[in-house]
Amino acid sequence: MRSSARPLAALLAALTLTAGLFATGAPASARANDGAPVAEASDVSLAADTYDWKNVRIDGGGFVPGIVFNRSERNLAYARTDIGGAYRWDQAGKQWTPLLDWVDWDHWGWTGVVSLASDSADPDNVYAAVGTYTNSWDPNNGAVLRSSDRGASWKATELPFKIGGNMPGRGMGERLAVDPNKNSVLYLGAPSGNGLWRSTDSGVTWSEVTAFPNPGNYSQDPTDTSGYGNDNQGIVWVTFDERTGSAGSATQDIYVGVADKDNTVYRSTDGGATWSRIAGQPTGYLAHKGVLDSSNGYLYLTLSDTGGPYDGGKGRIWRYATATGEWKDVSPVAEADTYYGFSGLSVDRQQPGTLMATAYSSWWPDTQIFRSTDSGATWTRAWDYSSYPNRTNRFTQDVSSVPWLTWGANPTPPETTPKLGWMTEALEIDPFDSNRMMYGTGATIYGTENLKNWDSGSQFKITPMVKGLEETAVNDLASPPSGAPLLSALGDIGGFRHTDLDAVPGMMFTSPNLTSTTSLDFAEASPNTVVRVGSADAAPHIGFSTDNGSNWFQGSEPAGVTGGGTVAAAADASGFVWSPEGVGVQHTTGYGSSWSASTGIPAGATVESDRKNPKKFYGYKAGTFYVSTDGGATFTAKASTGLPAEGNVRFKAVPGIEGDVWLAGGSATGAYGLWHSTDSGATFTKSSGIDQADSVGFGKAAAGASYQTLFVTAKIGGVRGVFRSTDAGTTWTRINDDAHQWGWIGASITGDPRIYGRVYVSTNGRGIMYGDSSDGDGGTDPGTDPGTDPGTDPGNPPGDAACSVTYKVTNQWSGGFQADVTLTNTGTAALDGWQLGWTFADGQKVTQMWNATPTQDGAKVKAASISWNGKVAPGASVGFGFTGTLTGGNAVPAAFALGDEACATG
C-alpha cells in the first residue's frame, strides 16, 4: 500500500506515505539544548479553554518501516512511521503511545522518523532521527531527538543537513545506533552523500566520521530532477558486535551498510577510527538490514536490487562469519525464483541460530516470511502452494479488531484476504520472548504471541498489534447534522463513515474503492446524500451515497479525468459540481449520469456549495472568487481584491445562511489570513489580528449565541494552533496546547453541528484528532466571557510584594495589539502559584492569552499561573503574552499587583 503524504503546498497530492490513540498519562514535549542550534515548541502551553484530545479511532492506515525492541528490558519497544511520528509500546494496554505530538507547524518535517534507537545500557534513553524530505519540500534540516524518560520529553539537536523519513529507502536500517557498551557513543548514517556521523556525548553534538570512505552512490531514479528519486540513499544501517567491548569501553567492531551495490558493507575493528570494505561480500545488491547474532558471531544481510520500499525484483540473504571471514549465500530460494527483494530481518536472542526474514516487495499474491532454525542452512515459509493456486498456511489470521484490513475484497486464489501484508521491511522477534514477533506493513503492524508453533508444525496466530498507532493522512472531513457524526477522506485507505469515534470502523468506503479520497461533501438539507472523489488506477473517480455513506454506487465521469480534485453537493441534493484533475469544472443534476462543462471558471478551481441556496455554488483559484447561481452551469468572477493569489486556500459556506463564506489561506510571500463575506463573495473583509489561517470550519453555536462556532487552524498573535470563536470571529481562543500540535494540520477542520465545542482536526500522518471542550455542555466560551473578578482591585494595591514586572507592547495594528509580560521573583522565597493584576487606562480588552489564564472585569485584568509555571524560584522569571483590542490609546498600565501587593515596574 502507498500512503499519501501531503505536508505543504508543494506536496498536495505528491508522494507516498504515512501513524495513534491518545496517550494516557503525561503528554510528550520538547525542549531545545541550551545554546544549541535547535528549535523549540511554541511558547503557548495552555489555552483559556482546556480540551480533551483523542484520535478518531481507525488503527493503523500507513507504512511502519521500523520496530525496535530494547535488548535489556522486557516489553520496551518502539515503532517509527515515515510521516506520522514515533510510538512506544504500552504492554499493559497492548497499545502504542504517541511520542511526537508536540512537533509544531514550523517543524512539521520532524514527524518523519528516519530511525530509532533504544539504549540497552540505560533503557530510559531513546533517540530518534527525524526529518521528512531531503529536498526542498521540507524547509528544515533534520534533527536527532533524545529523551531520558522513554519519550515523555525530548531535547533536539539540529543537523547541518536534511534527512528523509519519507524518502526512497526509508525501510532500510536502522541508521541510528547506540553503542551497547559505551552508551555515550552513537552513530548516524546520513543520506545525500553526507556520510557517517558520530556523537560521543549521548547525542548532544554530532560530527562527521571523516575516516569513513564511502557515502554511498545509489539512488532510486538518477533521471529525476526533483531531488526525491535521484537522492543518494547514503549510509543505511549501523550494527555493533557487542562482544568486542566491555561496559564503559567502546565497542571495537562496528558494521555499516552503504547504498552501493559494489561496496555495501564496511567494518571498523578499532572503535570507528579506521574503516574498510569487507572482502568477499556479495555485489549487485543493497543490504537493507545487517543483524549480528552475537551467540554464534554470524552477521546476516538481507539484500535487494533496489532500495524499496515499494520496488525490488531480486534479492538474496547472505551470512558472514565474523570469526573466520567466510561469506555464504544462505538464501531460502534460488535467485532465479525471486521476484522480490529481502528486507525484514531478525534473530531470536533466546534461540541461537534462529532467524526470520521477509520478502518485502512481494505484492502478489502476498508477502512471504521465512524462518530458519539452523543459521540459514534451511528455511521454511509462512505459506506454500499445496496445488496451485491453493495455499497451505502455517498461520491463522484474525483481523476482527481491525476489520477493514480485508479491504472488503473477495480475491481469486492464490490471493487471500486479509493479506499477510506488503512493504514488510520491519520484522522483530522479541529478544525476551521467542513466541512474540511483530512486523510492519504498508497498512498496519501485525504480530503473534505463539510464534514457536511454527516449528512444532501447528499454526501460529497473526493479529493486528496496532491499537493506538494512527497513521492516516487526512484530506477532508465532514460532520453532517444527522447520521454519522463524521465522514473522512483519507490518503491510501479512502475514508470511513465514523459512527463511533472510539471504535474501529468495519470497512472503508467501497464501490468504488478509491485509493485516496481527495474531497467529500454532503447535501446540507439532505445529509443522507454524500459524494466523494479521489484517486484510482482507473475510472471511476467518484462515488455517491443516499444513506449517509453507509452504501455507495459508482458515478460516471467526463472523459479525461485523472484525479479526484474537489466536489460539492447542492444544499438540497439536486445536483453536484466537480472540479476534477485532468479536465475543467463540471456540473450535473441527479447522480452524475452525465456531466456538462461549467463555464466562467478555470480548470483546477476549488469548488464548494452554498449551504442554503441549492442553486448557488462557489469556486476559487489564484486570488479570484467565482459564483454560480444556476447550479454550476455558469460562474461569474467577483471583483473582490486582496485575496491570496498563491498558497493553499480553503473556504466554506456557513450552514443555514445564504452567501455567508469564510476563506482561509495564502502564503508567507503574499496575502495570508482569514476573510469573511456575507454577500456571496462580492466583497470580503479580512479578519484583523489573524497572522495566517489555513482551514476553517463550523460547529454548534454556544449557548446564547446566534452564530455558529468558528474553528480555524491559524497563527494568531504569533502563536500557531487550533482556535475557536463563539462570536463570529471577533475574539479567538486557542484550544490546543504545545503537547498537542501534530505537525502540519492545514488540510481540514470542522466542528460538530450537534455537540457544542467538539472539533475534528486533520493531520498529515497522525490520523484524525477530535477535541471536546471543558465547557462542552453548551455554556459560554470562557475565552470570550471572562466573568467577574472577585479579587482586590489591582489598580490600588495596599502593600509591596517582592516582585518586578516588565510590560512591553510587541506589536500593534489598527484595532489591536500584542504584549509580552515578564514577572520576576525578587524575594527570597519561591512563588507557588501567582496571580498578576493591572488596570487598563484606555479601555483595552484581552482577547487571547498564553502561558497564563486571564480574567477581565471592565478595565481590571488578572493573569493567573497555569499548571506548569506556577512555581517561580527566587531570582527567576516567568513570562506570558496576550493579544488585545483597543479603540483609542494604548497606554502601558501604571501599576501591577501580585495578589494584593504591588510589584515594582521596569
The string of pLDDT tens digits covering residues 516-525 is: 999 999 999 9
Beta strands in 81-142, from DSSP E residues, in sequence order: 86-90, 95-98, 113-118, 126-130
pLDDT value for 514: 95
List the one residue out of 340, 266, 247 whose CA is nearest residue 302.
Answer: 340
Q: How many CB atoms lie within 10 A of CB 461?
A: 14
Q: What 3-state class would DSSP assign to 109?
A: helix
Q: Does the CA dihedral 678-680-682-684 come out positive or negative?
A: positive
Q: Which of 361-365, 590-594, 811-815, 874-878 comes out lowest in average pLDDT? A: 811-815
Q: Who wins on pLDDT, 188 or 829?
A: 188
Kindly report the backbone phi and psi dihedral angles of residue 337, in degrees, each rounded to the nearest multiple of 5, phi listed first. Answer: -90, 0
| Residue 704 CB burial class (10 angstroms; 0-12, 13-18, ≥19) | exposed
CA distance 175 to 189: 5
Retrieve residue 864's grid coordinates. Answer: 493567573
Q: How many CB atoms lie within 10 A of CB 175?
A: 28
Query: What H or E segment, with its residue span, contains residue 537?
Result: none
Summarised one tens digit per residue, pLDDT across range 383-396 is: 999 999 999 999 99
Strand partners, 287: 303
Query: What H or E segment, with its residue span, contains residue 454?
Result: helix 453-456
Retrieve residue 81's grid coordinates. Answer: 512511521
* Contact of 756 with 116, CB cutoff 8 Å: no
pLDDT value for 797: 30
Retrieve residue 710's grid coordinates. Answer: 468558528
CA distance 311 to 116: 23
Retrieve residue 538's grid coordinates. Answer: 482507473
Written as one letter, the residue type at 554 is Q
The proportion of the chain whose per-residue pLDDT surpasses 90, expressed as a percent, equals 82
pLDDT value for 850: 67
Retrieve residue 427's grid coordinates. Answer: 520484522
Query: What H or E segment, with its residue span, contains residue 887?
Result: none
CA distance 39 to 32: 6
Residue 31 has pLDDT above 70, yes or no: no
List the one residue out of 637, 627, 510, 537 whose CA is nearest residue 577.
Answer: 627
Residue 42 has pLDDT above 90, yes or no: no
Residue 495 has pLDDT above 90, yes or no: yes
What is the model's pTM? 0.83
Angle ∠(355,359,361) on CA atoms, nearest 5:
150
Q: How many CB atoms lie within 10 A of CB 117?
A: 27
Q: Does the CA dihedral 491-497-501-502 come out positive or negative?
A: negative
Helices and strands in the chain: count of H runs, count of E runs: 1, 70
pLDDT value for 543: 97
**Within 13 A of 462's CA, how many CA atoms are on the CB side?**
21
Residue with cell string 485575496? 643
Retrieve residue 439's grid coordinates. Answer: 512486523
Confidence of residue 99 (pLDDT cuts 50, 70, 90): very high
List the one residue out of 744, 677, 692, 747 whose CA is nearest residue 723.
Answer: 692
Show which residues are catalytic.
82, 492
CA distance 131 to 188: 13
SS (HEC) of 763-797: CECCCEEEEEECCCCCCCCCCCCCCCCCCCCCCCC
CA distance 797 to 837: 9
CA distance 483 to 274: 66
Kindly report the backbone phi and psi dihedral angles of residue 295, in degrees, each rounded to the nearest multiple of 5, phi listed first. Answer: -70, -30
Question: What single-letter DSSP state applies at residue 243?
Answer: G
Residue 277 has pLDDT above 90, yes or no: yes
Confidence of residue 34 (pLDDT cuts 50, 70, 90): very low
Retrieve residue 459's grid coordinates. Answer: 499454526
Across 707-713, average pLDDT: 98
Retrieve residue 287's grid coordinates. Answer: 543490504
Pair type for strands 799-813 and 901-905: parallel
Average predicted confidence (pLDDT) for the chain: 91
Retrieve residue 623's grid coordinates. Answer: 486570488
Retrieve residue 91's grid coordinates. Answer: 504492554
* Contact of 626 with 600, CB cutoff 8 Å: yes
Retrieve residue 126's grid coordinates. Answer: 531513546
Torsion (CA) 303, 309, 311, 317 in degrees, nearest 10? 10
Confidence of residue 882 (pLDDT cuts 50, 70, 90): confident
